[in-house]
Amino acid sequence: MILHIDMDAFYASVEIRDNPKLAGLPVVVGGSPKGRGVISAASYEARKFGIFSAMPSSQALRLCPNVVFVKTRMDHYAKISKQIREIFFRFTSLVEPLALDEAFLDVSGCKKLFGDGPTIARLIRNAIQSELGLTASAGVAPNKFLAKLASDLDKPDGLVIVDPNDIEGFLNPLPIERVWGVGKQTLKKFHRLNVKTIEQLRGLERDTMKQFFGINSEHFWRLSRGLDTRPVVPDRIAKSVSHETTFSHDIIDREPLRAWLLELTQQVARRLRRHQIRGRTVQIKVRFSDFRTITRSVSLAEPSCSTEELEEAVEELLARVEIENGVRLVGMGVSNLTSSSMQQQMLFGNEERGRNERLDEMKDQLKDRFGHDAIRRGTSVEHDISRRPDPRVGDDRIT
C-alpha cells in the first residue's frame, strides 16, 4: 500500500503558524508586488480570490487588494521539512521525497506494527498536526499514481482512500486533466475526441489513441485503468539544484550581475551540502530585457559541493556571456548529481578540497545559528544584494 502525503499550502501555513495574527487572512509568500515578484505559495483564503503559486505578485494584488505578502524563508521551510520526514521514518524507511512538502511512502510491510494504510496515514497526519501545528492531506492507494491523485481531492486536511477493488469507480468521474502527462496541447486533442473524463478516456480504442498520441498512448491507456508499477524509491538523488532571481529593474553592469550570481552560488552550494549531494555540471542562465535567454555550462573534473569551486566555475561562465543590453534575470544551477557518501574517498587525497569543505561546514553552522547574513561576501555588501529592493523571491528548485 502506498501513501502520498502532501502538506497543505506549506510555506503559507508555516508563516501563519509562526504568526497567528495572519490566521484567516489571504496570505501569500513571495516577492513584492512593486517589482517583478512572483508568488511561491498562497493560503487557502488567498486562493479563493484566484491567487496561485507562480502568479506575478502584482496580479495577486489586483485580484485581492487586502492580500498580505510575506517574504520567503527557504532555510526555515527546509528545517521543518526535515522534521516532517523524521515523522515519516517512524513508520517506514521506504520514503521518496518529491519536494519539501510532499513524499511517497510504501507501508506495505508495516501492517503488523502500525495497522493498515489508512490507519498509518491518520497516525502520520495526527503527528504532524500535534507536533508541528501543520495540516497535511493524504492519499492511500495501491500505487503511486492513484495515491498522488487521491491526496489532492480533499484539500486541505483531507484523507482519501482508494479501494483496490473499485479503482475504475474512483477514476471514472475525474476530469482528464487529472491524468499525469496531460498538458494544454494534449488536452485539446482529447477534447477534439470529446473526451473529458477518465472514464471516457478508457473507452477509446487503442488504435485511435495511438493515432492521436503516438508513443504516449500506452501511458494514457495504463493510467486510465489505474495501472502504475513504479516503486517507491528511498533516498532519491535529485537531478539538479538551482536558484534564480528576477530583478525589479534591468541590470546593465557586469559587476552587480557577478555579485548576484555568486550569492546564488552560495545558496545552491549550501543546499547541496544540506542534502549531502555533489554535482559535476555547473550552469548559469541569463535572461535579457527582451526575454532572450541564454545558458552556459561547464563540467568539473570531480563532483563538488564546495562554494569556492562552484564560484570559480560560475565566474568562468559569466566571462563567456556578452552583456548586450539590460538583464532581468540570472540563475545558477548544478546538475549531474551524486551522493556525497560516494565521494568521501576523494577527500583523503585532496588536502585543499578537504580544507575548503571544512571551511564551508563552519560557515553553514554559523549561518544556521545566526542567519544567512552572518557571513557575507564583500561583493554582496558592496552591491547591497541581501537588501536590494524588490527582487523576485528566489526560485529555488531541487528536481
| Cα gap 211→294, rounded to integer Å | 36
Report pLDDT for 346. Answer: 45
Q: At residue 59, does pLDDT exceed 70?
A: yes
136-141: strand order across its sheet: 95-99, 102-106, 2-7, 136-141, 159-161
Q: What is the mean pLDDT of residues 350-370?
A: 61
For residue 368, the enclosing domain spans 240-398
Output b/e per residue, 163-175; b: 16+ Cβ within 10 A: eeeebeebbeeee
pLDDT at 315: 94
Task: Say whether both 121 and 103 belong to one domain.
Answer: yes
Tell me the C-alpha distance between 270 and 388, whole Å: 21
Q: Is residue 364 part of a domain?
A: yes
Residue 84 lies in a domain: no
- CATH number, residue 20: 3.40.1170.60
- 396: confidence class by pLDDT, cuts 50, 70, 90: low
> What band does 394 get if pLDDT is binned at 50, 70 and 90?
very low
CATH number of the structural domain spanning residue 115: 3.30.70.270
Q: Which of 74, 104, 129 marks a domain boundary? A: 74
Q: For residue 90, which amino acid is it? A: R
**In the listed set 167, 189, 206, which residue is the last one of a domain according to the structure?**
167
Integer angstrom CA distances of residue 393 from 18, 26, 295, 386:
20, 18, 21, 11
**Do 296 and 385 belong together in one domain?**
yes
DSSP-derived 3-state class of residue 237: coil
Is residue 88 situated within a structural domain?
A: no
* Co-location of 150 and 202 in the same domain: no
The reply to whether 294 and 213 lie within a common domain is: no
**For residues 302 and 343, what is the distance between their CA atoms, to the nearest angstrom?**
9
Give the separation between CA 14 and CA 16, rounded to whole angstroms. Answer: 5
The reported pLDDT for the residue numbered 375 is: 54
- Give a yes or no: residue 359 inside a domain: yes
Position 196 scores a pLDDT of 94
Are residues 249 and 348 located together in one domain of the fold? yes
Q: Note the pTM of the prediction, 2 decimals.
A: 0.67
- Would residue 254 count as lying in a domain? yes
pLDDT digits (tens, 9 = 90+) for 285-332: 999 988 889 999 999 888 889 999 999 999 999 999 988 788 999 999
Q: What pLDDT score was predicted for residue 399?
A: 62
Q: Is residue 278 part of a domain?
A: yes
Are 137 and 149 in a shared domain? Answer: yes
Contact 369, 214 (CB under 8 A): no
Mean local confidence (pLDDT), 202-211: 89
Q: Has residue 233 been placed in a domain?
A: no
User: Is the confidence at residue 224, as pLDDT, over 50?
Assistant: yes
| Total H helices, total E strands in the chain | 17, 13
Question: Are 371 and 383 members of one domain?
Answer: yes
Query: Per-residue pLDDT tens for 65-82?
Result: 999 999 989 889 989 999
In this structure, are 356 and 265 located in the same domain?
Answer: yes
Burial of 41 (0-12, 13-18, 19+ CB in 10 A): buried
CA-closest candidate to residue 203, choices 216, 213, 193, 212: 193
Can you give the pLDDT at residue 283?
96
197, 175 contact by CB (below 8 A): yes
Mean pLDDT of the chain: 85
Grid coordinates standing for 114? Answer: 502500525
Q: Which of 241-245, 343-347, 360-364 has the lowest mean pLDDT?
A: 343-347
Among residues 196, 223, 250, which one ends one of the domains? 223
Q: Model confidence over 99-148: pLDDT tens digits?
A: 889 999 999 988 888 999 999 999 999 999 999 999 999 999 999 999 99
CATH no. for residue 198? 1.10.150.20
Query: Does the active-site annotation cover 102?
Result: yes
Give the whole-angstrom CA distance, residue 124 versus residue 138: 9
CATH number, position 282: 3.30.1490.100
Q: Which amino acid is at 69?
A: F
Please check whether residue 95 is in contact with residue 236, taking contact to mean a CB–CB distance below 8 angstroms.
no
pLDDT in tens, 114-127: 999 999 999 999 99
Residue 89 lies in a domain: no
- Pair 176, 246 in one domain: no
- Which pLDDT value is given to residue 75? 85
- Longest CA span, the chain: 66
Looking at the fold, whether 57 and 118 belong to one and the same domain comes out as: no
What is the residue whose three cell numbers read 523571491? 393
Sorted by sequence, the CB contacts under 8 Å of residue 282 that are 6+ apart come out as: 297, 298, 299, 300, 310, 313, 314, 317, 332, 333, 334
Question: What's the pLDDT band for 48 if we cut at 50, 70, 90?
Answer: very high
Instruction: Report the domain count for the chain.
Output: 4
Task: Give the angle 203-205-209 at the CA atoms, nearest 5°.
Answer: 105
Residue 335, pLDDT > 60, answer yes
Per DSSP, the three-state class of 318 is: helix
The helix/strand/coil state of 9 is coil
| Alpha-carbon dihedral 96, 98, 101, 105, rounded to 10 degrees | -30
pLDDT at site 141: 97
> Given 45, 102, 311, 357, which residue is catalytic?
102
At residue 112's C-alpha, the angle toward residues 108 and 118, to 5°, is 55
60 band by pLDDT with thresholds 50, 70 and 90 = very high
Task: Write down the pLDDT at residue 390.
Answer: 34
Confidence grade of residue 372 (pLDDT, cut at 50, 70, 90): low
3-state SS, residue 31: coil
CA angle 130, 132, 134 (to 5 degrees): 85
Contact in structure between 39 and 61 (CB atoms under 8 Å): no
Share of the chain above pLDDT 90, in %: 53
Confidence of residue 88 (pLDDT cuts 50, 70, 90): very high
Claim to verify: residue 262 and residue 130 sit in the same structural domain: no
End-to-end Cα distance, the chain: 25
Asked if 103 contacts 95 with a C-beta cutoff of 8 angstroms, the reply is yes
Residue 347 has pLDDT above 80, yes or no: no
Same domain, yes or no: 267 and 355:
yes
In sequence order, the 6+-apart residues with CB closer than 8 A to the CB of 300 are 279, 280, 281, 282, 309, 313
More confident residue, 339 or 96: 96
